[in-house]
Amino acid sequence: MRQVVFGVLFAMLWASASVATKIGIRSAEPLILANFRFFLAGGGMLLFAYLVQKGKHRMPKGNEWKQLLIFGLLNTTLYLSLYVIAMKSVSAGIGTLATATNPLFIMAISALWLKRPLKWYEVTGMFLGLSGVAIATYPSLAQSHGSLAGLIILLTGMLSVSAATVYYSRIQWELSNLVINGWQVFLGGLLLLPFTCFTSDFSATKYDLNFWGGLLWLVLPVSVTALQLFFYLVKRDAVRASLWLFLCPVFGFIYAAILLHEAITWFTWVGTILVIGGLYLGQREKFASKS
């Protein structure tokens, strides 16, 4: 029962990231919001690890700095900055739905990494997943409420975070999860900072309720609480943990409808069903081996 409660709570919190981002960028340019998030979340985790839990965690050394930089570049600098940029022209619901396709991209990148051909159900799963995103996005594109460029930026971010996940899984880490995540987020923010400074208008930023509310929600419930819940679920059962990602699009569209008044149409539900079906089909081998 505890895993069910934690799984539902994870899906609810993780799905809220798109809405929180949309609210935050009402008052700040995307990269400014992203950098604030990275430094607060990464710095907070590092302060907790090295001050509150003093003596329990060591500093990275040698090649670990390079590994953390690469992971931070893919997982934070590229993925999350592209994600927040895309949210300027893509609905919150579509943002959550696209995020749910992450396991399909991971599957494809892993196959390329291992130089093995994709199986028929993996290819079909990817086709269904991407078709679902396209169908769900169609009404907003047709009515000019969204942009194709935003969707492409969003999916490029999905490729980056999927590559980061595969890279992470191929390294024999000796650092704790808290330290790894703290450093990769903080270093990712440092790598992004020059671009933020040169391309963003800080004078236009409004430090109001939208900014701080969206930012703090992204840092605490999403970056800290949701990730810790997911780590707990993965440690108990990695295969079943991935099932909770299937709920994220449902919660994401509900939040977007209630808080941002985004329309939910039959395109939305058909697209969501296709994405969930694609996710299950793409990972059927894992589920079959588990049973």
Q: Report CA 220 to chain centroid distance, whole Å.
A: 15
What does the alpha-carbon distance between residue 85 and residue 96 come to, in Å, rounded to a whole number?
A: 14
Domain ranges of the chain: 2-290
99, 118, 168, 281 from 238: Cα distances, Å? 18, 21, 15, 17
What does the alpha-carbon distance between residue 185 and residue 190 come to, in Å, rounded to a whole number?
A: 9
| Residue 222 near residue 20, CB atoms below 8 Å | yes
In eight-state DSSP terms, residue 145 is S
What does the alpha-carbon distance between residue 148 and residue 150 come to, in Å, rounded to a whole number?
A: 5
Give the pLDDT score at 287: 57
Q: Which two tokens stand for residue 151?
A: 């969707």
Q: 6-37, pLDDT tens digit by residue?
A: 888 988 998 899 999 999 999 999 999 999 99
Give the pLDDT score at 58: 94
Give the pLDDT score at 31: 95
In eight-state DSSP terms, residue 171 is S
Give the pLDDT score at 13: 93
Give the pLDDT score at 230: 79
Q: Which two tokens stand for residue 6?
A: 């934690």
Give the pLDDT score at 146: 59
Give the pLDDT score at 208: 95
Which residue matches tokens 């590559």?
Answer: 163
Give the pLDDT score at 132: 82
* Nearest in space to 19 (alpha carbons), one of 213, 291, 161: 213
Give me the torsion for CA of 288, 252, 133, 231, rounded to 10°. -40
List, for the chain, all residue ranges whose pLDDT scores fall below the cut of 50.
none
Question: What is the pTM (predicted TM-score) of this model?
Answer: 0.82
**SS3 call for 262:** coil
Q: What share of the chain is helix, strand, coil (3-state, %, to 5)?
A: 80, 0, 20
Query: 204-233: buried (b, 16+ CB within 10 Å) or exposed (e) per residue?
Result: eeeeeebbeebbbbbbebbbbebbebbeeb
What does the alpha-carbon distance between residue 18 and residue 63 come to, in Å, rounded to a whole number?
A: 34
Q: Which two tokens stand for residue 136?
A: 């769900």
Query: 62-87: buried (b, 16+ CB within 10 Å) or exposed (e) per residue?
Result: eebeebbbbbbbbbbbbbbbbbbbbb
